[in-house]
Structure 1
């Protein structure tokens, strides 16, 4: 079991460094390939029905986790191959570097006063309607997206990697990608995407809480982060985005939430950190740096959790009952 822990630690660290150095490739990304496959399955299965949506989720997310598990079993006897597989999977499912690049690109456009360029790039980061937003509203959207995606694109994946190894990494990213594809409340996906959205809420729960806790520890204002997260997290309509965005709001000393414009609809969300100042363009860089610190801490936590899981399995395999039977 010690080898299992060390293999995960080395592979996860290498994958994390790979994401830092390379980010996401423009072509041939495994997550994009999964998205195309999931879309093909959707075209065959789609009905305005929750049951068909649940089947779509099972085939796509469950199939991905099962395939990753089978691949992990094939390399189990080779420590080098196991580390390489963990590293490649970790790199494929993490998106922290690309998140920071997109956020900084929008921040740079806003700082230069080029609103149109910022509007062109915003859809790469979130689903807001950029034509309905001014510069300050786009800056707020970017900070909110950095906060939420720190959990979705980094911390949540590392948590499930620690708990489930390569299948946990791949399964979490599959669920999160499906939610982005079909989990929104449009007329087409209100029923079909229900299962994906609910499953994403479940698997995202531990990562969101860990992200909020690490934001309190790593942020420039721990007391403010704790105060706003404890008071305002439950006011957000998303059970997982709420703690993360509230913690970021408190840590950065800014107001998040309020009116949001999507294509075809407008949402009026509660304000998080109402006593704080509005978001400014410079806060985008602060949010990206905070995201990076939280991500690095999450890697350490994931390695520690994996060690605990390995020790627990080892203790179970050497229980007194099994030792007694072994010695007979």
Structure 2
């Protein structure tokens, strides 16, 4: 389990420094590089004149190209590294940009801080950077709910899942997963343009996140102040979520905090009637975002510690 140690290194480095703004300004970020490739394939291969079946095949082929190329680059880099602890450290450093531990924390904290101070306008602006729902329609409970849901879901997609695949396969695993996740975020939604072309990307992402989402939920349960409620809510309500995976960490967090999450929301003037998670509980407040961040920090510390123990074992 040498790769587990490398993923622990990646988590520690990201927790300490994140992805510095000067570095982003100079070279961008690996996810933006992936985005350029996916956008080029979407522009060239996703033709509106083609029938849906052909667009679905083209989308599947495009997804394979992006995933296989990313994994191949990871394998090539890994094969060039020396063996032993030097390899583990270097893999950890190379994997670090693909672990969004600090970024997620900072973006959610940027919502909590003004909301705790009563600045609804600033909180709406901050939450609009991490969710797609209409911010003007959000009151304190809506803002808190959006921030907590984003924290729970992205803890799985942004940290646990890449670390999971990286621990199993090293750089090919984490590079390949990040390609899958970026494909889903860019083309895996049910818009008119991407209903067929992004079908494969969405299904592949569902498979890749199946285990990590449930692992994230159980991490939240273990660190919850209300463990029994968190476990009960997760096992009862996770499957009610529109996503086969996001419901697990979100339902676990809802039970851990004793609040209701999901529910109806507005996207671009249209109402999406999502079912409630932990229906009957109270609405979340600004303080609940801070409590969710505490659970998140402890869960990530537990995950990093478990990876380190696996590496030494």
Are the counterparts in 1 of residues 7 and 167 from structure 2 also a CA contact under 8 Å? no
Q: Which of these residues, 142, 150, 174, is aligned with residue 145 of structure 1?
A: 150
CA RMSD of superposed structures (Å): 1.9
TM-score (norm 2): 0.90
Q: Once the 2 structures are TM-superposed, how far is the Cα of residue 62 of structure 1 from its aligned partner? A: 1.8
Deviations 1:55-90 (A, max 9, x none): 221111221011111211122x44355224311233
Q: Which of these residues, 273, 276, 280, is aligned with residue 271 of structure 1?
A: 276
Residue number in structure 1 paired with 2:129: 124
Closer/same/farther in 2, CA of residues 89 and 128 from structure 1, 3 Å limit = farther
- The within-5 A match list for 1:1-328 is 5-6=1-2, 8-26=3-21, 27=24, 28-48=28-48, 49-75=55-81, 77-79=82-84, 81-263=86-268, 265-303=270-308
Are the counterparts in 1 of residues 149 and 250 from structure 2 also a CA contact under 8 Å? yes
Deviations 1:139-179 (A, max 9, x none): 10000010101111111111111211111111111111111
Hey, what's the Cα distance between the residues in 1 that align with 2:297 and 2:251? 17
- Tell me which structure has the larger Cα radius of gyration: 1
Residue number in structure 2 paired with 1:318: none
Hey, what's the Cα distance between the residues in 2 that align with 1:205 and 1:306? 24
Hey, what's the Cα distance between the residues in 2 that align with 1:16 and 1:253? 29
Are the counterparts in 2 of residues 158 and 302 from structure 1 also a CA contact under 8 Å? no
Are the counterparts in 1 of residues 231 and 252 from structure 2 also a CA contact under 8 Å? yes
Residue number in structure 1 paired with 2:51: none
Instruction: Return 5+ residue gaps in structure 2 as ranges.
Output: 49-54
Q: Which moved more, 1:203-212 or 1:261-270?
A: 261-270
Aligned residues: 302
Hey, what's the Cα distance between the residues in 2 that align with 1:159 and 1:200? 14
Hey, what's the Cα distance between the residues in 2 that align with 1:213 and 1:134? 30
Q: Once the 2 structures are TM-superposed, how far is the Cα of residue 189 of structure 1 from its aligned partner? A: 1.2
Q: Once the 2 structures are TM-superposed, how far is the Cα of residue 274 of structure 1 from its aligned partner? A: 1.5
TM-score (norm 1): 0.86
Local SS of the residue matching 1:289 = helix
Hey, what's the Cα distance between the residues in 2 that align with 1:140 and 1:184? 22
Residue number in structure 2 paired with 1:323: none
Instruction: Return 5+ residue gaps in structure 1 as ranges.
Output: 309-328
Are the counterparts in 1 of residues 164 and 212 from structure 2 also a CA contact under 8 Å? yes
Hey, what's the Cα distance between the residues in 2 that align with 1:25 and 1:35? 19
Are the counterparts in 2 of residues 256 and 271 from structure 1 also a CA contact under 8 Å? yes
Hey, what's the Cα distance between the residues in 2 that align with 1:257 and 1:55? 34
Q: Which moved more, 1:17-26 or 1:201-210?
A: 17-26
Local SS of the residue matching 1:261 = strand
Closer/same/farther in 2, CA of residues 64 and 307 from structure 1, 3 Å limit = farther
